[in-house]
Structure 1
Amino acid sequence: MQGDVLAGFTVGLTVIPQGIAYAVVSGYGLYSSFIGCFVYMLFGSCKDVTIGPTAIMSIMTHEYLKALDCGEGETVGPTQVAVMLTFITGIVILLATVLRIGFLVTFIGRTVISAFTSAAAVTIATSQIKGLLGLSFEAEGFIQTWKAIFQHISETRYQDAVLGIVCCIALLLLKSMRELNAAKPREGDSTKQRILKKAIFFVSVGRNAIIVIISTGIAYGLRESEPFKITGDITAGFPKVSVPSFSVTCNNGTEDLDFTEIASRVSIGLFILPLIAVIENIAIASAFAGGKAIDATQEMLALGLCNVTGSFFQSIPTTGSFSRTAVNATSGVKTQAGGLTTGLLVILALLFLTPAFKYIPKASLSAVIICAVIFMIEYHDVLPIWRTYKLDQVPYSYGVVQFSANNNNNSVPLWTTFLLCVFWALEWGILVGALVNICVLLYLQATPDVVVSLRETSEGGSSGLVVVQPTLGLIARSQKIAFANMRGHVRTSLLALIPNLEEISLPADPLAQVVVQDTPSVGNSPQPLLSHEHGEWCHSCIYS
């Protein structure tokens, strides 16, 4: 219980400034930071996961709110629409849970998720440069935003820029403190050393709150001269509990939009938001499961209930937060009850601290967001793919020949998703990336790598056999339709690789004998699917 209280308090110090910061992105945030804690505590399956606003969900909510702009720059009913999106997100997730179609998420692929996350991080960081420098302009999209930044760079408010840059440096330094060897707990530490290292840990994980409090104090002390752009008035108190509205009014009350019209303008966003929420949450739960299998159905149920319930408390769409989940885990949380402390801390902040939120400088909030999302850029996924591509160009030697048309297949969906998300739109980027990934999977199934080698005898001499091994043949269970497409590829590969080939005999379903076992093997080596007798080189090819 002590560990849960401590972890919940620590996460609360993180989620409050993040919730305020994400409100800058989406228009809301803090109201979304407490109800998910309570619901997930009851229905969630992973003790470390914390539910609340995230950078990706905030930026996507903001994009769909902009899509409902209905005249002269006026955005229609943002509060009602954001809450409606939360309700629909929860309902769609619950329907997917009941219909058990969550398995479709597996077709998106790790590289697509990585590219989407990185693109979202780049997009969010770009959107916050304006606040960091104190600029004022309206722009949409990655290119247009950077174009506007350079056009208005001469209008930079040096006070905001200095504060924002200093906040960024301080946040990065505080984050790195707990990574120092001297700050890591060791056996044999004295009481003073343990206390000091614990203090360093709390300062590091609570860095967002510390920076926001200090910058707010500075802004309040200098409020007469108004050197910084500040957040302004924030509605105080507990959110009003109400049923989500499915119609809004815009253009000063002259135009009413019903649910059908709203849905047509938001379009695929009604399905993209639930999809992203599920992907994020399951990925985070898997990462912190400690190697144990997670109950994906239970996670989807919990997430759906979090959003449906949150919509009655004016919440934006929520999902698991990687940064806060990491803080929760390292703080020693024992059960999901840690969310109780986090939720109560957020409620106390809403009830008693909102007057102080008025003086929070926008530059400091931009710094908090930028320093949070830059670590979401998964550059480590690009390097292995590039190295793999380079190595795949090296031909096999020592009597082994490889026919491969599959080099660097992972990079295709990765770069497709990343570029489309950055330069077009996040939702279309992940959809097209998922389709490309499925096409790559089908292509790999139909055109496996084919390795041909001479089998040696135990004495080291030639056995008179040629071994042909399609590498994908043992990865998936046999499907006659899939193999019908594969056979032509294997035949073409053999003709290209083996000179003087006179006969190839391919039975209708050569994998039927190995379908019982996922990976049949001889010793520690995969069992070859093709074995060929040959004379001078190879006169016939038959399946063994």
Structure 2
Amino acid sequence: MNIKKIIPILEWLPNYKSSLFKGDLIAGITVGIVLIPQGIAYALIAGLPPIYGLYCALVPQILYAIFGSSRQVAIGPVAMDSLIVATGVSTLALAGSESYISIAILLALLVGVIQFLLGIFSLGFIVNFLSKPVITGFTSAVALIIGLNQFRNLFGVDFFQSDQLQYIVVDIWKQFSTFNTHTTVIGLASVVLIIILRMIHKKIPSALLVVILGILIMRFFGTSFNDVAIVKEIPSGLPFFGVPEFELDQIKELLPIALTLVMVGFLETISIGKSLEAKQDEYRIRPNQELIALGLSNIFGSFFKAYPSTSSFSRSAINAESGAKTGMASLISVLMVVITLLFLTPLFYYLPKTVLAAIIIVAVFNLINVKEASYLWRVNKLDFWLMISTFIATLCLGIEYGIIVGVGLSLIVLIYRTSKPYVTELGKVPNSNFYRNKNRFEEVVLEDDILVFRFDAQLFYANASYFRDNLEEMTLKKGTALKLIVLDAESINRVDSTGVEMLKERVRYYKKKGVAFYFAGVKGPVRDDLFKSGLLDLIDIHHFFMRANQAVKYYKTGDRKHQEKFAKYIHQSYN
């Protein structure tokens, strides 16, 4: 057993060099500067006191630095998961109450246990059931929902909070005229300032600067803006250890929202990790290890009052751009949060909530991927509508049902594509031994008495009828002149019992009609399945060829020399 694979920190820490520390130090400080105001803001999204956003940035970051396979991903509170937490927990308790806080922490434990078990049992492949268009549609919809929900703090109006667009929009429309002028001015000014600073340079800590400016305005000119809501007192000190209390009925109620958080958190981490992985050659992302790392982060985070956490798009990008090379950058960010919790929380007393809303709105609206929608419209209409369907379902039905619709549509598209793969007739390229697609190569020669048929997928129960129908259609076009069918099976990498029985039935059918049936390019494992099923009782072993042109040549000339050699080889390899 390779201990370094289980505990990835052992891959880089023993060989850590002083030359790496400068980049890690700058990145850790930069991410910490962004993380502190974001943590406070995201806790408000989750319906929790601000301090819990900072708790999320402690133990989870430490555990991920030890067990995560990525050295640049930044773990902690994020906007999307915070909204999912608010959506799920608000149905069970009043936001901000002790019961609400307790349930949110229990949710982190439940999410962590599920993630850890999925990783231990190597179930990281589940990410494959959500295609990129689905992820894009879901992420864009959630970003829009999060942004609209922050209008209540941006404009100082108690709008209805929901994860369903129609309810938010209707309530905003009804109450928009009651917006607070001072709150709106400070909030919109913060949005504009953040955007301008980002346009000047992405590395400028725009979030921190607007936080400082907002605090100074309220501290020294607060009498002129006494109607602007502020964060007020944030408790100092580090969280104490404690195992979350739970009841079985409570876990049953939390399970659907926990599974949603597991899926979303894993997808976020993998997508971020893969994008950072592509920019370096030092390490590789391992999905199952990421599940284990996320699981441990949430499990032990819950013991120290953290609600569900995962990787952050924005902070991970900042971490990499600032020069982070190892998990040391995350540990430095943790140190900054610890210093803040111990000594600096009183400084945030005068922080306007509208400034936090501005930070969140700018951050999440960048996740609305219009470019991807435009690209998919040009290159793949089916993927475009898959993305739009997920986007609309998430907006109108809510985050939890959006995930279900996305997974369902992904599976439907997968079944559709595998049940109706590409099929074509091949023709001979003049003066060569190659057979090519007649629809792509106009010069190929097609013969009336020969059909070379290619099937581009595994042959199994979902597409066996499709295979038979297309083969039948092509043979009918050839008419009574047809004497030979060659199945080019190079693209068939698997066949099940239904596919085998259909092939045997077709061989018998065409044999009665006086039409020979040859196989070309059959892969070894597929050939084994065909032989075990008794196909050799219907056709000769000499009717298996390496290439389609050899099958046609054998049919025309009866040249057995090369084919007997190949037949002997495949017979020996099978036995």
Both proteins in one fold, TM over 0.5: yes
Return 5+ residue gaps in structure 2 as ranges. Answer: 1-20, 433-441, 488-499, 504-517, 527-546, 554-575
Name the structure 2 match of 1:215.
214
User: Is 1:467–1:531's contact at 8 Å kept on the other side of the alignment?
Assistant: no
Root-mean-square deviation (Å): 3.0
- 1:447 pairs with one of 403, 417, 420: 420
CA distance in 2, matches of 1:512, 1:285: 42
CA distance in 1, matches of 2:200, 2:550: 57
Q: 2:310 is matched by which residue type in structure 1? A: T
Q: 1:367 is matched by which residue type in structure 2? A: A
Q: Confirm whether residue 260 of structure 1 aligns to residue 248 of structure 2.
A: yes
Alignment of 1:462-477 (within 5 A): 463-465=445-447, 472-473=456-457
Name the structure 2 match of 1:6.
26
Q: Confirm whether residue 118 of structure 1 aligns to residue 126 of structure 2.
A: no
Name the structure 2 match of 1:457.
430
Name the structure 2 match of 1:250.
none
- After TM superposition, the structure 1 stretch with the greater mean CA deviation from structure 2, 56-65 or 98-107, is 98-107
Name the structure 1 match of 2:461.
481
- 1:385 pairs with one of 366, 376, 394: 376
CA distance in 1, matches of 2:417, 2:142: 28
Q: Confirm whether residue 19 of structure 1 aligns to residue 36 of structure 2.
A: no
Per-residue deviation, 1:358: 2.1
Q: Confirm whether residue 241 of structure 1 aligns to residue 221 of structure 2.
A: no
Per-residue deviation, 1:331: 0.6
Name the structure 1 match of 2:80.
56
Q: 1:515 is matched by which residue type in structure 2? A: K
- After TM superposition, the structure 1 stretch with the greater mean CA deviation from structure 2, 360-369 or 457-466, is 457-466
1:129-169: CA deviation from partner (whole Å, max 9, x where unpaired): 12111112334331111111111111111111111111111
CA distance in 1, matches of 2:264, 2:373: 21
User: Is 1:450–1:468's contact at 8 Å kept on the other side of the alignment?
Assistant: no
Name the structure 2 match of 1:32.
56
CA distance in 1, matches of 2:56, 2:240: 13
CA distance in 2, matches of 1:145, 1:434: 25
CA distance in 2, matches of 1:451, 1:243: 62
For normalisation by structure 1, the TM-score amounts to 0.78
Name the structure 1 match of 2:327.
336
Name the structure 1 match of 2:171.
148
User: Is 1:65–1:75's contact at 8 Å kept on the other side of the alignment?
Assistant: no
- Give the number of the structure whose alpha-carbon radius of gyration is greater: 2
CA distance in 1, matches of 2:192, 2:141: 23
- After TM superposition, the structure 1 stretch with the greater mean CA deviation from structure 2, 346-355 or 323-332, is 346-355
Name the structure 1 match of 2:293.
302
Name the structure 2 match of 1:188.
none
Per-residue deviation, 1:83: 0.5
User: Is 1:50–1:321's contact at 8 Å kept on the other side of the alignment?
Assistant: yes
The structure-2 alpha-carbon separation of the partners of 1:410 and 1:532, relative to structure 1 and needing over 3 Å to count, comes to farther
Q: Confirm whether residue 95 of structure 1 aligns to residue 117 of structure 2.
A: yes
Q: Secondary structure at the match of 1:329?
A: helix
- Larger RCO, structure (CA 8 Å, separation 6 or more): 1
Q: Confirm whether residue 427 of structure 1 aligns to residue 400 of structure 2.
A: yes
Q: Secondary structure at the match of 2:184?
A: helix
Q: 1:33 is matched by which residue type in structure 2? A: A
Name the structure 2 match of 1:104.
126
Q: Secondary structure at the match of 2:446?
A: strand
Name the structure 1 match of 2:470.
490
- After TM superposition, the structure 1 stretch with the greater mean CA deviation from structure 2, 487-496 or 293-302, is 487-496
Per-residue deviation, 1:310: 0.5
Per-residue deviation, 1:227: 4.1
- After TM superposition, the structure 1 stretch with the greater mean CA deviation from structure 2, 377-386 or 277-286, is 377-386
Per-residue deviation, 1:360: 0.9
CA distance in 1, matches of 2:86, 2:549: 53
Return 5+ residue gaps in structure 1 as ranges. Answer: 180-200, 247-258, 390-407, 519-526, 534-544
User: Is 1:135–1:152's contact at 8 Å kept on the other side of the alignment?
Assistant: yes
CA distance in 2, matches of 1:63, 1:512: 57
User: Is 2:160–2:167's contact at 8 Å kept on the other side of the alignment?
Assistant: no
Name the structure 2 match of 1:538.
none
User: Is 1:19–1:30's contact at 8 Å kept on the other side of the alignment?
Assistant: yes
1:238-261: CA deviation from partner (whole Å, max 9, x where unpaired): 122211111xxxxxxxxxxxx233
The structure-2 alpha-carbon separation of the partners of 1:51 and 1:499, relative to structure 1 and needing over 3 Å to count, comes to same
Q: Secondary structure at the match of 2:157?
A: coil
Q: 2:523 is matched by which residue type in structure 1? A: V
1:288-329: CA deviation from partner (whole Å, max 9, x where unpaired): 002664211221111111111110111110111111010010
For normalisation by structure 2, the TM-score amounts to 0.74
1:269-303: CA deviation from partner (whole Å, max 9, x where unpaired): 12111121111111111110026642112211111
- Equivalent pairs: percent with the same residue? 29
Q: 2:335 is matched by which residue type in structure 1? A: L
Question: Hey, which of these two has a bigger chunk of helix by percent?
Answer: 2
Name the structure 2 match of 1:251.
none
CA distance in 2, matches of 1:158, 1:363: 12
Name the structure 2 match of 1:161.
184
CA distance in 2, matches of 1:469, 1:384: 34
- 2:356 pairs with one of 339, 356, 365: 365
CA distance in 1, matches of 2:313, 2:264: 13
The structure-2 alpha-carbon separation of the partners of 1:452 and 1:265, relative to structure 1 and needing over 3 Å to count, comes to same
Per-residue deviation, 1:76: 6.8
Q: 1:109 is matched by which residue type in structure 2? A: S
CA distance in 2, matches of 1:4, 1:512: 57
